Structure 1
Amino acid sequence: MQIVLGDEKVDLQLTERIQQVRRKLTEKEKTDRVHLSTSERWTQEKVPTGELVLTFKNPDRYHMMKEWRETLDSPLEKRLDEAVAGLAGIFEELRLICVHEAEARARQEERCRAEMDRKREAIRSRRLLNQSQNWQTAADLNEQSAKGMSRNTTASPLASDMCPGAGSGQPYRAAANASCRMAHSAGTA
Protein backbone atom coordinates (compact mmCIF):
# COMPACT_ATOMS: atom_id res chain seq x y z
CA MET A 1 0.00 0.00 0.00
CA GLN A 2 1.21 3.51 -0.74
CA ILE A 3 0.46 6.76 1.08
CA VAL A 4 0.79 9.91 -1.04
CA LEU A 5 1.13 13.48 0.21
CA GLY A 6 1.76 16.01 -2.53
CA ASP A 7 4.60 14.69 -4.67
CA GLU A 8 5.99 12.39 -2.00
CA LYS A 9 5.10 8.72 -1.59
CA VAL A 10 5.62 6.38 1.34
CA ASP A 11 5.14 2.63 1.10
CA LEU A 12 3.31 0.94 3.95
CA GLN A 13 4.01 -2.75 4.56
CA LEU A 14 2.57 -5.03 7.21
CA THR A 15 4.45 -8.30 7.31
CA GLU A 16 5.09 -11.18 9.65
CA ARG A 17 8.58 -11.35 11.08
CA ILE A 18 10.54 -14.35 9.83
CA GLN A 19 13.24 -15.79 12.02
CA GLN A 20 16.15 -17.85 10.78
CA VAL A 21 16.83 -20.84 13.04
CA ARG A 22 19.44 -23.54 13.03
CA ARG A 23 18.40 -27.15 13.50
CA LYS A 24 20.06 -30.53 13.35
CA LEU A 25 19.70 -32.60 10.19
CA THR A 26 17.79 -35.86 10.42
CA GLU A 27 19.40 -39.07 9.15
CA LYS A 28 17.10 -39.08 6.12
CA GLU A 29 18.10 -35.47 5.27
CA LYS A 30 21.77 -36.39 5.60
CA THR A 31 21.42 -39.21 3.06
CA ASP A 32 19.23 -37.13 0.68
CA ARG A 33 21.76 -34.31 0.58
CA VAL A 34 24.46 -36.09 -1.40
CA HIS A 35 25.57 -32.95 -3.20
CA LEU A 36 26.52 -31.34 0.10
CA SER A 37 29.24 -32.30 2.48
CA THR A 38 28.50 -35.57 4.32
CA SER A 39 29.90 -34.14 7.51
CA GLU A 40 27.17 -31.46 7.55
CA ARG A 41 25.01 -31.76 10.72
CA TRP A 42 23.03 -28.52 10.74
CA THR A 43 20.70 -26.60 8.44
CA GLN A 44 19.21 -23.10 8.45
CA GLU A 45 15.46 -22.62 8.19
CA LYS A 46 13.24 -19.57 8.03
CA VAL A 47 10.33 -19.85 10.42
CA PRO A 48 7.39 -17.41 10.85
CA THR A 49 7.26 -15.97 14.36
CA GLY A 50 3.66 -14.74 14.45
CA GLU A 51 4.88 -11.21 15.26
CA LEU A 52 3.79 -8.36 12.98
CA VAL A 53 6.12 -5.69 11.61
CA LEU A 54 4.79 -2.36 10.33
CA THR A 55 7.23 -0.64 7.93
CA PHE A 56 7.11 2.80 6.34
CA LYS A 57 9.67 3.53 3.62
CA ASN A 58 10.14 5.94 0.77
CA PRO A 59 10.76 4.08 -2.49
CA ASP A 60 12.87 6.93 -3.89
CA ARG A 61 15.18 7.25 -0.89
CA TYR A 62 16.72 4.06 0.41
CA HIS A 63 17.66 5.47 3.82
CA MET A 64 14.12 6.62 4.60
CA MET A 65 12.62 3.72 6.56
CA LYS A 66 10.93 3.35 9.93
CA GLU A 67 9.78 0.10 11.43
CA TRP A 68 7.62 -0.94 14.40
CA ARG A 69 7.80 -4.51 15.63
CA GLU A 70 5.22 -6.26 17.69
CA THR A 71 6.45 -7.88 20.91
CA LEU A 72 4.78 -10.12 23.47
CA ASP A 73 4.19 -7.29 25.92
CA SER A 74 3.48 -4.60 23.28
CA PRO A 75 1.15 -5.62 20.44
CA LEU A 76 1.21 -3.52 17.28
CA GLU A 77 -2.35 -2.27 17.85
CA LYS A 78 -1.14 -0.36 20.92
CA ARG A 79 1.70 1.24 18.96
CA LEU A 80 -0.37 2.66 16.08
CA ASP A 81 -0.30 6.21 17.50
CA GLU A 82 3.50 5.98 17.56
CA ALA A 83 3.47 4.68 13.97
CA VAL A 84 1.23 7.54 12.76
CA ALA A 85 3.53 10.05 14.46
CA GLY A 86 6.47 8.33 12.74
CA LEU A 87 4.68 8.60 9.39
CA ALA A 88 4.18 12.34 9.96
CA GLY A 89 7.88 12.57 10.82
CA ILE A 90 8.81 10.84 7.56
CA PHE A 91 6.74 13.29 5.52
CA GLU A 92 8.25 16.25 7.40
CA GLU A 93 11.73 14.88 6.79
CA LEU A 94 10.89 14.47 3.09
CA ARG A 95 9.62 18.06 2.96
CA LEU A 96 12.83 19.35 4.56
CA ILE A 97 14.93 17.30 2.14
CA CYS A 98 12.99 18.75 -0.81
CA VAL A 99 13.49 22.30 0.53
CA HIS A 100 17.22 21.64 1.02
CA GLU A 101 17.55 20.18 -2.49
CA ALA A 102 15.69 23.16 -4.01
CA GLU A 103 18.01 25.58 -2.18
CA ALA A 104 21.06 23.63 -3.34
CA ARG A 105 19.78 23.70 -6.95
CA ALA A 106 19.19 27.46 -6.69
CA ARG A 107 22.74 28.00 -5.36
CA GLN A 108 24.17 25.85 -8.16
CA GLU A 109 22.17 27.76 -10.78
CA GLU A 110 23.39 31.06 -9.31
CA ARG A 111 27.01 29.84 -9.45
CA CYS A 112 26.49 28.80 -13.09
CA ARG A 113 24.93 32.17 -13.93
CA ALA A 114 27.81 34.02 -12.25
CA GLU A 115 30.36 31.89 -14.13
CA MET A 116 28.61 32.53 -17.45
CA ASP A 117 28.47 36.27 -16.71
CA ARG A 118 32.20 36.23 -15.89
CA LYS A 119 32.97 34.42 -19.16
CA ARG A 120 30.75 36.79 -21.16
CA GLU A 121 32.52 39.77 -19.59
CA ALA A 122 35.94 38.29 -20.39
CA ILE A 123 34.91 37.72 -24.03
CA ARG A 124 33.47 41.23 -24.26
CA SER A 125 36.69 42.71 -22.81
CA ARG A 126 38.82 40.71 -25.26
CA ARG A 127 36.69 41.86 -28.20
CA LEU A 128 36.85 45.46 -27.03
CA LEU A 129 40.63 45.24 -26.69
CA ASN A 130 40.91 43.74 -30.21
CA GLN A 131 38.65 46.44 -31.62
CA SER A 132 40.70 49.19 -29.96
CA GLN A 133 43.92 47.66 -31.33
CA ASN A 134 42.33 47.48 -34.80
CA TRP A 135 41.20 51.08 -34.47
CA GLN A 136 44.73 52.15 -33.46
CA THR A 137 46.23 50.26 -36.41
CA ALA A 138 43.73 51.88 -38.77
CA ALA A 139 44.49 55.31 -37.34
CA ASP A 140 48.25 54.73 -37.77
CA LEU A 141 47.76 53.61 -41.38
CA ASN A 142 45.53 56.58 -42.07
CA GLU A 143 48.15 58.92 -40.61
CA GLN A 144 50.93 57.30 -42.65
CA SER A 145 48.78 57.53 -45.77
CA ALA A 146 48.13 61.20 -45.12
CA LYS A 147 51.86 61.84 -44.66
CA GLY A 148 52.59 59.95 -47.87
CA MET A 149 50.08 61.99 -49.86
CA SER A 150 51.58 65.28 -48.74
CA ARG A 151 55.12 64.29 -49.84
CA ASN A 152 56.49 64.67 -53.30
CA THR A 153 54.74 62.37 -55.72
CA THR A 154 57.88 61.40 -57.62
CA ALA A 155 59.23 57.94 -57.13
CA SER A 156 62.08 57.50 -54.72
CA PRO A 157 64.95 55.03 -55.17
CA LEU A 158 63.42 52.86 -52.41
CA ALA A 159 60.09 52.89 -54.19
CA SER A 160 61.69 51.25 -57.23
CA ASP A 161 62.51 48.23 -55.05
CA MET A 162 58.96 47.98 -53.75
CA CYS A 163 56.80 49.11 -56.68
CA PRO A 164 57.52 47.79 -60.16
CA GLY A 165 57.88 50.52 -62.72
CA ALA A 166 58.61 53.25 -60.15
CA GLY A 167 61.54 55.47 -61.16
CA SER A 168 61.49 54.16 -64.74
CA GLY A 169 60.00 57.32 -66.10
CA GLN A 170 56.50 55.92 -66.36
CA PRO A 171 53.92 58.40 -65.14
CA TYR A 172 52.36 57.30 -61.88
CA ARG A 173 49.44 58.92 -60.37
CA ALA A 174 49.92 60.41 -56.93
CA ALA A 175 47.61 57.82 -55.35
CA ALA A 176 49.62 54.90 -56.73
CA ASN A 177 52.86 56.38 -55.36
CA ALA A 178 51.21 56.99 -52.03
CA SER A 179 50.03 53.39 -51.80
CA CYS A 180 53.54 52.13 -52.68
CA ARG A 181 55.07 54.39 -50.06
CA MET A 182 52.49 53.25 -47.53
CA ALA A 183 53.26 49.61 -48.30
CA HIS A 184 56.98 50.36 -48.02
CA SER A 185 56.63 52.16 -44.70
CA ALA A 186 54.30 49.44 -43.31
CA GLY A 187 56.86 46.80 -44.32
CA THR A 188 59.68 48.55 -42.43
CA ALA A 189 57.60 49.30 -39.37
Structure 2
Amino acid sequence: MRLSRIIMALTVGLAVVAVPTAAGAAQPQPTPGVTDTPQPPPYTPQLPASLTVQPSSIDLGDTVNLIGERFGPRETVDIVVTVTPLAAPAANQAPARRSDGTTVAMAPVAYQASAPLRFTARTNGDGKFTRRYKPSVTGLLTFTATGRDSERTATAQLQVRGQAQPPALPVTGDSLGTPMKIGGGLAGAGAVLLLLTFAWRRRQRLGAGSH
Protein backbone atom coordinates (compact mmCIF):
# COMPACT_ATOMS: atom_id res chain seq x y z
CA MET A 1 0.00 0.00 0.00
CA ARG A 2 2.77 2.40 0.85
CA LEU A 3 4.70 1.40 -2.23
CA SER A 4 1.77 2.25 -4.51
CA ARG A 5 1.35 5.66 -2.85
CA ILE A 6 5.02 6.41 -3.32
CA ILE A 7 4.85 5.45 -7.00
CA MET A 8 1.76 7.62 -7.49
CA ALA A 9 3.41 10.63 -5.80
CA LEU A 10 6.47 10.29 -8.02
CA THR A 11 4.27 10.10 -11.13
CA VAL A 12 2.35 13.26 -10.17
CA GLY A 13 5.57 15.14 -9.44
CA LEU A 14 7.08 14.24 -12.77
CA ALA A 15 3.89 15.35 -14.54
CA VAL A 16 3.94 18.77 -12.77
CA VAL A 17 7.56 19.35 -13.72
CA ALA A 18 7.02 18.35 -17.39
CA VAL A 19 4.08 20.76 -18.05
CA PRO A 20 6.04 24.12 -17.84
CA THR A 21 8.86 22.63 -19.92
CA ALA A 22 6.47 21.65 -22.72
CA ALA A 23 4.73 25.04 -22.57
CA GLY A 24 8.05 26.85 -22.94
CA ALA A 25 9.05 24.67 -25.87
CA ALA A 26 5.77 25.47 -27.65
CA GLN A 27 6.42 29.24 -27.61
CA PRO A 28 7.97 30.67 -30.84
CA GLN A 29 11.65 31.34 -30.53
CA PRO A 30 13.13 34.59 -31.95
CA THR A 31 15.07 34.19 -35.16
CA PRO A 32 18.71 34.99 -34.57
CA GLY A 33 20.20 37.85 -36.61
CA VAL A 34 16.92 39.80 -37.24
CA THR A 35 16.59 43.26 -35.62
CA ASP A 36 13.42 45.24 -35.00
CA THR A 37 14.83 48.58 -36.40
CA PRO A 38 13.49 49.31 -39.98
CA GLN A 39 16.12 50.09 -42.58
CA PRO A 40 15.78 53.30 -44.70
CA PRO A 41 15.28 52.91 -48.46
CA PRO A 42 18.36 53.40 -50.66
CA TYR A 43 19.15 57.08 -51.46
CA THR A 44 18.38 58.20 -55.00
CA PRO A 45 20.02 61.54 -55.97
CA GLN A 46 17.64 64.13 -57.45
CA LEU A 47 18.46 65.39 -60.94
CA PRO A 48 19.02 69.18 -61.23
CA ALA A 49 16.75 71.50 -63.17
CA SER A 50 17.48 71.99 -66.87
CA LEU A 51 16.86 74.75 -69.44
CA THR A 52 17.04 74.25 -73.23
CA VAL A 53 16.80 76.77 -76.11
CA GLN A 54 15.48 75.47 -79.45
CA PRO A 55 17.06 76.33 -81.82
CA SER A 56 20.34 77.48 -80.27
CA SER A 57 21.35 79.83 -83.13
CA ILE A 58 19.04 82.17 -85.08
CA ASP A 59 18.95 85.39 -87.09
CA LEU A 60 17.54 88.57 -85.58
CA GLY A 61 13.75 88.54 -85.97
CA ASP A 62 13.28 84.79 -85.46
CA THR A 63 11.59 83.17 -82.43
CA VAL A 64 12.87 80.39 -80.13
CA ASN A 65 11.35 78.07 -77.49
CA LEU A 66 12.67 77.98 -73.93
CA ILE A 67 12.03 74.55 -72.36
CA GLY A 68 12.48 74.09 -68.61
CA GLU A 69 12.31 70.79 -66.72
CA ARG A 70 12.54 69.53 -63.12
CA PHE A 71 11.51 72.79 -61.49
CA GLY A 72 8.91 72.94 -58.72
CA PRO A 73 5.32 71.98 -59.65
CA ARG A 74 3.10 74.95 -60.54
CA GLU A 75 5.62 77.60 -59.59
CA THR A 76 6.72 80.88 -61.18
CA VAL A 77 10.15 80.81 -62.76
CA ASP A 78 12.07 84.09 -63.16
CA ILE A 79 14.22 84.26 -66.31
CA VAL A 80 17.02 86.83 -66.69
CA VAL A 81 18.70 87.43 -70.07
CA THR A 82 22.20 88.91 -70.36
CA VAL A 83 23.70 89.91 -73.72
CA THR A 84 27.33 89.69 -74.83
CA PRO A 85 28.34 91.24 -78.19
CA LEU A 86 29.53 88.88 -80.91
CA ALA A 87 32.93 89.51 -82.52
CA ALA A 88 32.43 90.35 -86.18
CA PRO A 89 34.55 88.15 -88.49
CA ALA A 90 37.22 90.02 -90.44
CA ALA A 91 36.14 88.32 -93.68
CA ASN A 92 32.81 90.18 -93.59
CA GLN A 93 34.45 93.60 -93.42
CA ALA A 94 34.94 95.18 -96.85
CA PRO A 95 38.42 96.82 -97.09
CA ALA A 96 38.74 100.47 -98.01
CA ARG A 97 40.68 101.19 -101.21
CA ARG A 98 43.21 104.02 -101.37
CA SER A 99 43.91 106.22 -104.41
CA ASP A 100 47.14 104.38 -105.13
CA GLY A 101 45.34 101.02 -105.33
CA THR A 102 46.26 99.72 -101.87
CA THR A 103 43.62 98.64 -99.35
CA VAL A 104 43.20 99.19 -95.63
CA ALA A 105 41.09 97.01 -93.29
CA MET A 106 38.06 98.57 -91.63
CA ALA A 107 37.80 97.82 -87.90
CA PRO A 108 34.34 96.56 -86.84
CA VAL A 109 32.47 98.64 -84.27
CA ALA A 110 30.69 96.47 -81.66
CA TYR A 111 27.45 97.73 -80.13
CA GLN A 112 27.08 98.23 -76.41
CA ALA A 113 25.26 95.37 -74.66
CA SER A 114 21.86 96.38 -73.35
CA ALA A 115 20.69 95.99 -69.76
CA PRO A 116 19.58 92.49 -68.66
CA LEU A 117 16.08 91.54 -69.77
CA ARG A 118 13.61 89.85 -67.40
CA PHE A 119 10.44 87.83 -67.89
CA THR A 120 8.68 84.87 -66.20
CA ALA A 121 7.32 81.41 -67.00
CA ARG A 122 4.85 79.11 -65.21
CA THR A 123 5.45 75.38 -64.69
CA ASN A 124 2.85 72.62 -64.81
CA GLY A 125 2.27 69.87 -62.26
CA ASP A 126 5.42 68.06 -63.40
CA GLY A 127 7.67 71.10 -63.03
CA LYS A 128 7.95 71.74 -66.79
CA PHE A 129 7.34 74.86 -68.88
CA THR A 130 7.67 76.04 -72.50
CA ARG A 131 8.06 79.75 -73.22
CA ARG A 132 8.35 81.40 -76.64
CA TYR A 133 10.85 84.25 -76.90
CA LYS A 134 11.78 86.69 -79.69
CA PRO A 135 15.13 88.45 -79.19
CA SER A 136 15.35 92.18 -79.98
CA VAL A 137 19.17 92.41 -80.00
CA THR A 138 22.04 90.50 -81.56
CA GLY A 139 24.83 88.79 -79.65
CA LEU A 140 25.29 85.83 -77.33
CA LEU A 141 22.25 85.65 -75.02
CA THR A 142 22.52 83.79 -71.70
CA PHE A 143 19.24 82.75 -70.03
CA THR A 144 19.22 82.09 -66.26
CA ALA A 145 16.00 80.53 -64.91
CA THR A 146 15.32 80.36 -61.14
CA GLY A 147 12.25 78.87 -59.46
CA ARG A 148 10.74 81.17 -56.82
CA ASP A 149 9.68 78.34 -54.50
CA SER A 150 12.13 75.52 -55.25
CA GLU A 151 15.09 77.91 -55.85
CA ARG A 152 16.31 75.54 -58.55
CA THR A 153 18.44 77.22 -61.22
CA ALA A 154 19.38 76.35 -64.80
CA THR A 155 21.08 78.25 -67.65
CA ALA A 156 21.16 78.09 -71.47
CA GLN A 157 22.66 80.18 -74.29
CA LEU A 158 21.40 81.46 -77.65
CA GLN A 159 23.41 83.00 -80.51
CA VAL A 160 21.54 85.76 -82.38
CA ARG A 161 23.09 86.90 -85.65
CA GLY A 162 22.37 90.17 -87.42
CA GLN A 163 20.20 90.23 -90.52
CA ALA A 164 22.13 89.82 -93.76
CA GLN A 165 22.76 93.16 -95.52
CA PRO A 166 24.65 94.02 -98.71
CA PRO A 167 28.16 95.31 -97.97
CA ALA A 168 28.41 99.11 -98.06
CA LEU A 169 31.32 100.86 -99.72
CA PRO A 170 33.36 102.55 -97.00
CA VAL A 171 34.41 106.17 -97.42
CA THR A 172 37.90 107.09 -96.22
CA GLY A 173 40.03 110.19 -96.26
CA ASP A 174 42.02 108.90 -99.22
CA SER A 175 38.86 108.22 -101.25
CA LEU A 176 37.62 111.77 -100.63
CA GLY A 177 41.03 113.25 -101.37
CA THR A 178 41.22 111.82 -104.88
CA PRO A 179 38.11 113.61 -106.30
CA MET A 180 39.16 116.81 -104.58
CA LYS A 181 42.60 116.63 -106.17
CA ILE A 182 41.15 116.00 -109.60
CA GLY A 183 38.67 118.84 -109.21
CA GLY A 184 41.39 121.23 -108.08
CA GLY A 185 43.53 120.33 -111.07
CA LEU A 186 40.67 120.94 -113.47
CA ALA A 187 39.93 124.30 -111.88
CA GLY A 188 43.58 125.35 -112.20
CA ALA A 189 43.70 124.28 -115.84
CA GLY A 190 40.55 126.28 -116.55
CA ALA A 191 42.03 129.38 -114.93
CA VAL A 192 45.18 129.09 -117.06
CA LEU A 193 43.12 128.72 -120.23
CA LEU A 194 41.03 131.74 -119.28
CA LEU A 195 44.16 133.89 -118.76
CA LEU A 196 45.58 132.73 -122.10
CA THR A 197 42.30 133.67 -123.80
CA PHE A 198 42.40 137.18 -122.29
CA ALA A 199 46.03 137.61 -123.36
CA TRP A 200 45.28 136.48 -126.92
CA ARG A 201 42.34 138.89 -127.22
CA ARG A 202 44.43 141.75 -125.88
CA ARG A 203 47.19 141.04 -128.39
CA GLN A 204 44.65 140.95 -131.18
CA ARG A 205 43.32 144.39 -130.13
CA LEU A 206 46.77 145.87 -129.90
CA GLY A 207 47.67 144.50 -133.35
CA ALA A 208 44.49 145.92 -134.87
CA GLY A 209 45.21 149.41 -133.42
CA SER A 210 48.69 149.56 -134.85
CA HIS A 211 47.45 149.20 -138.44
Same fold (TM over 0.5): no
- Structure having the higher helix fraction is 1
TM-score by length of 2: 0.29
**Higher strand content, 1 or 2:** 2
The structure number with the bigger radius of gyration is 2
Q: TM-score, normalised by structure 1?
A: 0.32
Greater relative CO, 1 or 2 (CA 8 Å, sep 6+)? 2
